[in-house]
Structure 1
Amino acid sequence: MQKESFNVFCPECNMLVEAKVITDATGKFQSDALNPDDEVDAMYNAEHYTVCLCRRCNHPFLIKESLQGVPAEFETVTDTVVLYPTESKIAIEYLPNSIHSAYIQALRSYKVSLFDPCVLMCRKCLEGLCKILNVSGSNLNKRLEKLKEEKHIDDRLLKWGHQIRLIGNEAAHDIDTPISKKDAQDILEFTEAILIYVFSLTQRYEALMKRRQTTSK
């Protein structure tokens, strides 16, 4: 199965782009046929690899497609994964629905170059975090300090939280100073770090301790 292009998100262009296929090759191939003569009518699973270049900036991509079919009848793509470039981030798991919704909106805004909405949604993530953890305070500044006081976050995460708060305020009130791509990227990643620390890693640590206790018994 050959294609002339793929639609992918280019990190250099910061947008969805068309990537032109440069070369391709078939990798792993497994057939259900019991002998070679039966392969034409037997179900198979295969991996197809494609190298592409962004039509805007020539950024390279390596894409793997998982294929399934019967040679004499059909072939379909069951999964498509961009192997390069990759993101080596820790997965953001266990987010409450309200915070997950705000985070997804921040992420989508960044990917379509809407940087002001991106940082506004990041700030909303912090507001949601304080609400979920029942942290009180007359404003976000005081609530962030309370998060640190109650040991939900440490000094470094507090500093990052204040930057999310301040740049979020700029996006909301300073119409003459648009948020830059780099600032939006930093704020999004600081937000991800706080969410990972408070929700994802905390839950994973608790799960680890339960496994260890079960094993020791």
Structure 2
Amino acid sequence: MSKTEFDVYCPECNILIAAQVVAEGNGGFRSNAINPFDEIDAEYQGEHYFVCLCGRCSQPFLIRQSLYGVPAEFETVTDEVILYPSEKRLPLDGAPSNIKSAHEQATRSFSASLFEPCVLMCRKCIEATCKTFGAKGRDLNARLQSLFDAGHIDSRLLNWAHEIRLIGNEAAHDPDIKVTKRDARDVLDLTESILIYVFSLTSRFEKFRARRSMASTKR
């Protein structure tokens, strides 16, 4: 189904834009028809691909539409997916709901160009992580060290967390501070990486180890 533009979120411009279609093509069609003569009345599924460009920064997009229809009767779009740029991330499996909520608010703030609230919510994610593991200390600086001493994070993640703590402090207490888009993007990515390491990958590893242990007992 031909279109001239798509409303998409541009990660470079950090706003919703109308991406202009510059090329398109069919990805093939499939039906349950037993022979070619039956295909004229048979239901079919197919894909149509669009290459688009942001009118502001020329960021490219690859969009796939899944189609369903009957020849000469109707055709409808059943699904529409942006294949590039990919926004797929590891889910925050194992993370408490308050941390997932803070991370979601940070992501929404960034999408709305609210960069100070974004880094504040990222800092909240780090604070909540410390609380989840019972980290001790009178302030976040000490609690992060406690988190490191207990083996929940390594030295690299500790350095990342301290930078998130510092920029969060600046955003909260310095009225003249201006958090840039680039800094907010880095803070958001670093926060997500810490959460994925601490919760998602740890949970995944434990399941992996348990699965291998069960398999070994059956040998």
Shorter-chain TM-score bucket reads: over 0.9
Could you say if the C-alpha distance between residues 77 and 164 of structure 1 is closer, same or farther in structure 2, counting changes exceeding 3 Å?
Answer: same
Please tell me whether the aligned partners of residues 92 and 100 of structure 2 are also in contact (alpha carbons under 8 angstroms).
no
Aligned to 1:24: 24
Structure-1 separation of matches of 2:185 and 2:161: 14
Aligned to 1:160: 160
Aligned to 1:192: 192
Aligned to 1:75: 75
Aligned to 2:65: 65
Aligned to 1:41: 41
5+ long unaligned stretches in structure 1: none
Q: CA deviation at 1:150?
A: 0.8
Q: Which range moves more in the overlay, 72-81 or 92-101?
A: 72-81
| Secondary structure class of the residue paired with 2:134 | coil
Q: CA deviation at 1:153?
A: 0.5
Aligned-residue Cα RMSD (Å) equals 1.6
Aligned to 2:3: 3
Q: CA deviation at 1:89?
A: 4.8
Letter in 1 for 2:196: I
Structure-2 separation of matches of 1:191 and 1:172: 17
Aligned to 1:53: 53
2:87 is equivalent to residue 94 of structure 1: no
Q: CA deviation at 1:98?
A: 0.9
Q: Which range moves more in the overlay, 4-13 or 198-207?
A: 4-13
Q: CA deviation at 1:50?
A: 0.4
Could you say if the C-alpha distance between residues 95 and 43 of structure 1 is closer, same or farther in structure 2, counting changes exceeding 3 Å?
Answer: farther
Structure-2 separation of matches of 1:190 and 1:94: 18
Aligned to 2:134: 134
Q: CA deviation at 1:79?
A: 2.1
| Secondary structure class of the residue paired with 2:136 | coil
Structure-2 separation of matches of 1:98 and 1:182: 26
5+ long unaligned stretches in structure 2: none
| Secondary structure class of the residue paired with 2:2 | coil
| Secondary structure class of the residue paired with 1:12 | coil
Structure-2 separation of matches of 1:108 and 1:69: 36
Q: CA deviation at 1:90?
A: 4.1
Letter in 2 for 1:53: L
Letter in 1 for 2:136: S
**Which contiguous aligned blocks of 4+ residues in structure 1 show a shift greater than 6 angstroms?**
none
Letter in 1 for 2:112: V
Aligned residues: 217
Identity percentage over the alignment? 57
Q: Deviations over 1:19-63 (max 9, x none)?
A: 011111111311122222322322211111101111212221111
Aligned to 1:203: 203
